[in-house]
Amino acid sequence: MPSKLLDALLLAMPLSPTLESWRQYLKSQLPYPVQGAQTLFIGDPALVIVVFQHDKAEVLLPAMEWRHHDIHTVKPRSQGVIDACSGSLEQLLALVEDTIALRLKSFHECSSCGKRCAPEVLGSLKGEPVCRDCIKGRRVLF
Ligand SMILES: [Zn+2]
């Protein structure tokens, strides 16, 4: 179990030039909005999360877990780690693309407006997936 102090130390360490260049590439070259600094949240909603540590980059799938019908927690699942010394940007990009593809597969079409939505913003109405916007609209109507 890593301690909070160790976490703080790792975060305080500067990234290697290799990792920094990978980070900049992801921030500027992907066709998605990117948020975050040392941890990048790519896409809105997040399609993939890339965590940079001092000598490696970990790629995570943003998987959601339902707790209540309206409350979810983010439980990212690790898809792999690319080491700055033995790995390459190509490997990192391949992992990122695979993770995005996996994430998009979990999206469903809203049965009301047809928009493809992340599972965490979909509810259900009479057993059909309906997005949050459409559910909100309904609540206003009734
Ligand atoms: Zn909808």
Q: What is the pLDDT of residue 51?
A: 95
- 129, 84: one domain: no
- 60, 119: one domain: no
Where in the sequence is the domain holding 136, given as residue range(s)? Answer: 107-142
141 pLDDT above the threshold of 70: no
The 3-class SS string of the chain reads CCCHHHHHHHHHCCCCHHHHHHHHHHHHHCCCCEECCCEEEECCCCCEEEEEECCEEEEEECCEEECCCCCEEECCEEEEEEECCCCCHHHHHHHHHHHHHHHHHCCEECCCCCCEECHHHEEEECCEEEEHHHHHHHHHHC
Taking the centre of ligand 1 as the mean of its atom positions, its distance from the CA of residue 68, in whole angstroms, is 20
Over residues 18-65, the pLDDT tens digits come to: 999 999 999 999 999 999 999 999 998 899 999 998 889 999 999 876
- 82, 123: one domain: no
- 70, 22: one domain: yes
The fraction of the chain above a pLDDT of 90, given in percent, is 56
- 35, 79: one domain: yes
CA separation, residue 130 to residues 14, 53, 100, 126 (Å): 44, 38, 22, 9
- 43, 96: one domain: yes
Indicate the number of domains in the chain. Answer: 2
- 36, 84: one domain: yes
Taking the centre of ligand 1 as the mean of its atom positions, its distance from the CA of residue 42, in whole angstroms, is 23
Taking the centre of ligand 1 as the mean of its atom positions, its distance from the CA of residue 21, in whole angstroms, is 39
- 25, 40: one domain: yes
Over residues 16-25, the pLDDT tens digits come to: 999 999 999 9
Residue linked to tokens 């259900």: 124
Q: What is the pLDDT of residue 104?
A: 94
- 59, 102: one domain: yes
2 pLDDT above the threshold of 60: no
Over residues 63-117, the pLDDT tens digits come to: 876 666 666 667 899 999 999 999 999 999 999 999 999 999 989 999 999 999 9
Tell me if 54 sits within 8 A of 10, measured CB to CB: yes
Q: What is the pLDDT of residue 142?
A: 42
Q: What is the pLDDT of residue 77?
A: 93
- 57, 117: one domain: no
- 95, 120: one domain: no
- 96, 114: one domain: no
Taking the centre of ligand 1 as the mean of its atom positions, its distance from the CA of residue 76, in whole angstroms, is 25
Q: What is the pLDDT of residue 119?
A: 85
